[in-house]
Amino acid sequence: MAGEFPAHPAAVTPKWLSAVLSAAGELDGTVTAVDWRPIGTGQVGDSARFSLTYDRPGAGPATLAGKFAAADATSRRTAVTHGLYAKEVAFYRELAARVAIRTPRAYAAEVGADGSAFVLLFEDLGPARQGDQLAGCSLVDAREAVRQLAGLHAPSWGNAEFVERPWFAARPGALESLAAAYPVATQVFVERYADALAPELMAVCKALAAAADKWFGREAAHRCLVHGDYRLDNMLFDIRGGAEAMGVLDWQTLQVGSGLTDLAYFLGAGVGTSLAAHEDELVDLYLAAMAERGVALNRAQIWDDYRRGALHGVSTAVFSAAFVERTARGDAMFLDMARGACQLALKHDSLGAL
């Protein structure tokens, strides 16, 4: 059905759903009606939950989740420029079933030729607890999130079948463009948060802008799949009514790099500062979970990558503040991300590692 897909929740029809669910082996009848409502707080994509009616009871799943291009033009333009929609569709088509991190099963994954429209139709992981960046999380939730990371990183660690997919290749001049745009984004960030972020933390943001060519041109010694935005808003806990511990969403920032980037991003930008006292425990848990999956690492091997990884939270917060739709929650979230990431970067002299 490539090229023929609904680009907005309102365009999803019973006929299209019947075809998709039938192809997935999830339908024993016909979809006769569908209703939808928006869910989530995504910054570059809009999500919806669909309630389905069938020609007979129990013919298919009662609800489904869908994801579409952002209605906001600024957010959508940013996503298209960086190929985010095409990348997420490719992940679900080619890689999701080959990693051990829990993701929703995708029944449809389509993207337009120019990358500006797409649809992902998923199993509904609810009832579940939505992770909340601003509320933080318990140590129990953080432990599960760290264990799940090993399910992404270990299968792809140094594995060419994962990390050498052609759609990971940067567009010509893309890194140079990022390096040039980052200082501009930093100016926007500084003006917005000058009175809200402590001076020593804002200094980290400014220093990273001055080192943008080194940051965006770096290469990891050990390459694997990296989620790229591993934070609480992209996680669901106690999914399927508590039948499973968690699921991870929003794969448009998937990239190839050091897995320690995800870990440091999560412990800095992803959960704020509430779990700082448990950092050592969670790093050790990651190493143990990787070893259980066949990748033996020690602190000496990973430490500099982990230190540098803290800066990913800084650059993500700064870029997002400048180039996605501005909302009150977004303002609070990007400030929270920057605060946690900058504190971790200061603690471990991440700029020195860079």
Q: How far apart are CA 34 and CA 211, in angstroms?
A: 51
The two structure tokens encoding residue 28: 């024993």
Q: How far apart are CA 145 and CA 148, in angstroms?
A: 5
Residues 6+ apart with CB under 8 A from 34: 12, 13, 14, 17, 50, 51, 52, 53
Q: What is the pTM of this model?
A: 0.92
Which residue has better confidence, 2 or 199? Answer: 199
Q: Which of 36-40, 206-210, 334-338 has the lowest mean pLDDT?
A: 36-40
Give the residue from 104, 123, 142 where a domain finishes: 123
Identify whether residues 292 and 347 lie together within a single domain: yes
Band of the pLDDT at 2, cuts 50, 70, 90?
A: very low
Identify whether residues 314 and 268 lie together within a single domain: yes
The two structure tokens encoding residue 253: 């920032």
**Is the sign of the CA dihedral 182, 186, 204, 131 positive or negative?**
negative
On whether residue 4 sits in a domain, the answer given is no
Q: Give me the numbers of helices (H) and strands (E) for the chain, helices first please.
A: 14, 10
Q: Which of 8-12, 55-59, 299-303, 319-323 has the lowest mean pLDDT?
A: 319-323
Q: Give me the CATH number covering residue 151.
A: 3.90.1200.10
Band of the pLDDT at 221, cuts 50, 70, 90?
A: confident
Q: What percent of the chain shows pLDDT beyond 70? A: 98
Identify whether residues 92 and 205 lie together within a single domain: no
pLDDT tens-digit map of 89-100: 999 999 999 999
Q: What is the pLDDT of residue 42?
A: 63
Q: What is the pLDDT of residue 46?
A: 87
Q: What is the mean pLDDT of the segment spanning 161-185? A: 88
Identify whether residues 340 and 231 lie together within a single domain: yes
Q: What is the mean pLDDT of the segment spanning 130-145? A: 95
On whether residue 142 sits in a domain, the answer given is yes
Give the residue from 123, 147, 178 where a domain finishes: 123
Identify whether residues 82 and 156 lie together within a single domain: no
Identify whether residues 75 and 136 lie together within a single domain: no
On whether residue 35 sits in a domain, the answer given is yes
Burial (CB < 10 A; 0-12, 13-18, 19+), residue 328, is: exposed
On whether residue 98 sits in a domain, the answer given is yes
The two structure tokens encoding residue 120: 């992902």
Q: What is the mean pLDDT of the segment spanning 242-250? A: 97
In this structure, are residues 215 and 315 in contact, taking their beta carbons and an 8 Å threshold? Answer: yes
Residues 6+ apart with CB under 8 A from 71: 46
Q: What is the pLDDT of residue 41?
A: 63
Identify whether residues 88 and 116 lie together within a single domain: yes
Give the residue from 123, 156, 180 where a domain finishes: 123
Q: What is the dihedral of CA 140, 144, 145, 146, to 10 degrees?
A: 100
Q: How far apart are CA 10 and CA 323, in angstroms?
A: 26
Q: How far apart are CA 78 and CA 72, in angstroms?
A: 10
Mean pLDDT (the chain, rounded):
93
End-to-end Cα, the chain, rounded Å: 46
Q: What is the mean pLDDT of the segment spanning 56-81? A: 90
Q: How far apart are CA 159 and CA 141, in angstroms?
A: 29
Identify whether residues 73 and 171 lie together within a single domain: no
Element (H, E) at 214: helix 212-216
On whether residue 13 sits in a domain, the answer given is yes
Residues 6+ apart with CB under 8 A from 106: 92, 93, 96, 120, 121, 122
Q: What is the pLDDT of residue 223?
A: 94
Identify whether residues 134 and 241 lie together within a single domain: yes
In this structure, are residues 313 and 189 in contact, taking their beta carbons and an 8 Å threshold? Answer: no
On whether residue 133 sits in a domain, the answer given is yes
Q: What is the dihedral of CA 320, 326, 331, 335, to 10 degrees?
A: 20
Q: What is the mean pLDDT of the segment spanning 296-312? A: 96
Q: Give me the CATH number covering residue 63.
A: 3.30.200.20
Band of the pLDDT at 43, cuts 50, 70, 90?
A: low
pLDDT tens-digit map of 306-318: 999 999 999 999 9
Identify whether residues 73 and 98 lie together within a single domain: yes
pLDDT tens-digit map of 325-351: 789 999 999 999 999 999 999 999 999
On whether residue 2 sits in a domain, the answer given is no
In this structure, are residues 239 and 168 in contact, taking their beta carbons and an 8 Å threshold? Answer: no
Identify whether residues 114 and 183 lie together within a single domain: no
On whether residue 3 sits in a domain, the answer given is no
Number of domains forming the structure of the chain: 2
Which residue range(s) make up the domain with 70? 9-123
pLDDT at 3 over 70: no
Burial (CB < 10 A; 0-12, 13-18, 19+), residue 199, is: exposed
Identify whether residues 153 and 251 lie together within a single domain: yes
Q: How far apart are CA 63 and CA 208, in angstroms?
A: 44
